[in-house]
């Protein structure tokens, strides 16, 4: 799948089939994440792949809006070292992972991490280092049913030339 097709067809998936995601698929997704743009090439990210049902359920129970993580085949946690641009860098890595998941035929949903009250509990559960900032949790799996991207604002409504 080409990049524009992945961008235009990507959508958040919260209902997953029981089909597993392979280790090779998870490695490829993290590869996409690690190749994201990063301020000053700091590359502050670290990734944790969660694949066991008990761990996925524990993780889901810690979040306020990520209960569906419990039914996902896997979850990738994106942490960044506490650098000046950790949030921008971690979000770029997360976006790359979401697009790569779409290109692989997987469904995915970004669950917020940064500044959420559950972030320290997730960090403890996953054994993150003290300077690790949780940027995102990405639920992953094959979609259960058909999914389609939601409507987006028209380009003509948001593109401004030369000034706002």
- Domain-embedded: residue 163: no
In 3D space, the residue among 133, 137, 136 whose CA is nearest the CA of residue 120 turns out to be: 133
- Domain-embedded: residue 114: yes
- Domain-embedded: residue 136: yes
Confidence at 90, pLDDT banded by 50, 70, 90: very high
Tell me what pLDDT residue 5 has: 96
Tell me what pLDDT residue 73 has: 98
Confidence at 121, pLDDT banded by 50, 70, 90: very high
Residues 132-160 pLDDT 10s = 999 999 999 999 999 999 999 999 999 99
Please count the structural domains in the chain. 1
Residues 40-81 pLDDT 10s = 999 999 999 999 999 999 999 999 999 999 999 999 999 999
Task: Tell me which residue range forms the domain holding 133.
Answer: 3-158
In order of 2, 45, 112, the CA distances from 77 in angstroms are: 25, 10, 10
> What is the mean predicted confidence (pLDDT) over 20-47?
98
* Token couple for 69: 């993580």
What gap in Å lies between CA 77 and CA 128, rounded to an integer? 10
* Token couple for 66: 């990520």
* Token couple for 23: 């280790």
- Domain-embedded: residue 17: yes
- Domain-embedded: residue 75: yes
Tell me what pLDDT residue 160 has: 97
CATH code of the domain in which 37 resides: 3.40.109.10
In 3D space, the residue among 86, 96, 76 whose CA is nearest the CA of residue 138 turns out to be: 76
Q: Are strands 132-141 and 74-81 parallel, antiparallel or unpaired?
A: antiparallel
């Amino acid at each position: 799948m080409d990049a524009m097709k992945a961008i235009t067809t990507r959508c958040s998936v919260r209902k997953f089939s029981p089909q597993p995601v392979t280790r090779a698929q998870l490695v490829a997704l993290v590869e996409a994440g690690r190749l994201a743009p990063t301020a000053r090439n700091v590359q502050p990210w670290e990734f944790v792949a969660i694949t066991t049902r008990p761990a996925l359920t524990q993780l889901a129970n810690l979040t306020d809006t990520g209960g569906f993580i419990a039914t996902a085949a896997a979850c990738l946690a994106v942490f960044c070292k506490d650098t000046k641009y950790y949030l921008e860098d971690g979000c770029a890595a997360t976006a790359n992972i979401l697009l790569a998941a779409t290109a692989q035929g997987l469904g995915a949903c970004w669950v917020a991490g940064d500044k959420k009250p559950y972030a320290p509990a997730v960090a403890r559960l996953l054994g993150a280092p003290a300077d690790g900032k949780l940027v995102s949790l990405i639920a992953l799996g094959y979609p259960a049913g058909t999914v389609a991207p939601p409507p987006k604002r028209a380009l003509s409504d948001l593109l401004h030339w030369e000034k706002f």
